[in-house]
Amino acid sequence: MSRIVQTLKMLSFLCAGCCLACTPIPAESLNPSQSEYSPMGIGGRVTDRNGQPMSGAFVYAYRNAKSNLRGPADFEARVDDQGRFLLDLVEGEYYLVARMRQTGADAGPPNPGDAWALPPFNPVTVKTSEIVPIDFVLQSVTQPMLMREGTLTSGGTGFTGQLVDDQNQPLAGAFVIAYTEPDFRRMPQATSPAVGSDGLFKLFVPQEGQWCLAARTRTRGQPTLGEPFGVLDGKQGSCRQVRTGEILDVGAIRLLPYRP
């Protein structure tokens, strides 16, 4: 009888151990550092030119700029009612663009009436346990094509300046085109993104040398009658020399109604 009692006691002890083993153990009791979530990525606000939140817009992140920031993005985040967004990303470099489509969709080709914006710089570098603050100010799209072939969103060589209208006021939505020769009737070798409400542009070029600059508001074809169009002017003409690693300030380019 004593052996039976001892056996029962042993089985009871083992079963108790089994129950303890099946009970979930809080992760923090094993390794507190693994259970703590440290957000990292890119966050900020998306607004219009009046500072109003652009709820329903999307911020897209691309691992590279080969697609000219078009097509399906690697990551995306929807903007909330306060204009805020957070892209949850691992460390690395990302090319960003914010878009708001009139349809409210998160994908599809850009159309007139949509709005978009680039960050102050691309790419944006994300480091471990870091939220990089980036804000966007959306601009209206007057042409279906946002980014055309030859558009560089970052680099160390190029030009900066301002686009103004016939009243010398900043001209939002226009962009700069660059050629190695002063022949503005063919396809440009480099194109800037469209400028914002301040008219300030930054045009990156693929290599040093002579570049001839013009500016316009349409993305395709030859300038049409009445279209705002202008070339870099001054004593040096429309062309400037730029060295590798130099961002040359060329001042203002004035756009006037085009007359063939």
**Residue 5 domain-assigned (yes or no):** no
Task: Please tell me whether residues 179 and 124 are part of one structural domain.
Answer: no
Q: Count of CB atoms within 10 A of residue 19's CB?
A: 9
Task: Please tell me whether residues 118 and 185 are part of one structural domain.
Answer: no
Non-local CB neighbours of 22 within 8 Å, separated by 6+ positions: none
pLDDT at 24: 36
Number of domains forming the structure of the chain: 2
**Residue 222 domain-assigned (yes or no):** yes
Task: Please tell me whether residues 136 and 185 are part of one structural domain.
Answer: no
Task: Please tell me whether residues 241 and 180 are part of one structural domain.
Answer: yes
Which H helix or E strand runs over 186?
none
pLDDT at 42: 95
Task: Please tell me whether residues 230 and 181 are part of one structural domain.
Answer: yes
SS3 12: helix
Query: Can you list the residues of the chain whose pLDDT is less than 70?
Result: 1-38, 68, 102-113, 140-154, 219-220
Task: Please tell me whether residues 112 and 176 are part of one structural domain.
Answer: no
Beta pairing, strands 175-179 & 190-191: antiparallel
- Name the residue range of residue 47's domain: 41-140
Task: Please tell me whether residues 201 and 247 are part of one structural domain.
Answer: yes
What predicted TM-score, i.e. pTM, was given to this entire model?
Answer: 0.51
Task: Please tell me whether residues 233 and 177 are part of one structural domain.
Answer: yes
Instruction: Quick: pLDDT tens for 80-97.
Output: 999 999 999 999 999 998
Find where tokens 């070029």 sit: 205
CA angle at residue 198 from 72 to 44, to 5 degrees?
A: 45
Structure tokens at 44: 């900020």
Q: Last residue of a domain, which of 140, 167, 182?
A: 140
Question: From residue 3, how far is each of 6, 8, 9 by CA, in Å?
Answer: 5, 9, 10
Task: Please tell me whether residues 100 and 62 are part of one structural domain.
Answer: yes
Give the whole-angstrom CA distance, residue 68 versus residue 138.
Answer: 18
Give the whole-angstrom CA distance, residue 164 versus residue 159.
Answer: 16
pLDDT at 17: 40
**Residue 55 domain-assigned (yes or no):** yes
Secondary structure (H, E, C), 142-181? CCCCCCCCCECCCCCCEEEEEEECCCCCECCCCEEEEECC
**Residue 22 domain-assigned (yes or no):** no
Q: Which residues pair with 242 in a beta bridge?
A: 209
Give the whole-angstrom CA distance, residue 215 versus residue 173.
Answer: 11
**Residue 121 domain-assigned (yes or no):** yes
Structure tokens at 154: 């970052």
**Residue 2 domain-assigned (yes or no):** no
CB of 79 closer than 8 Å to CB of 134: no
Task: Please tell me whether residues 108 and 71 are part of one structural domain.
Answer: yes
Instruction: Quick: pLDDT tens for 122-150.
Output: 789 999 889 999 998 887 654 434 444 45
CATH number at residue 216: 2.60.40.1120
pLDDT at 83: 93
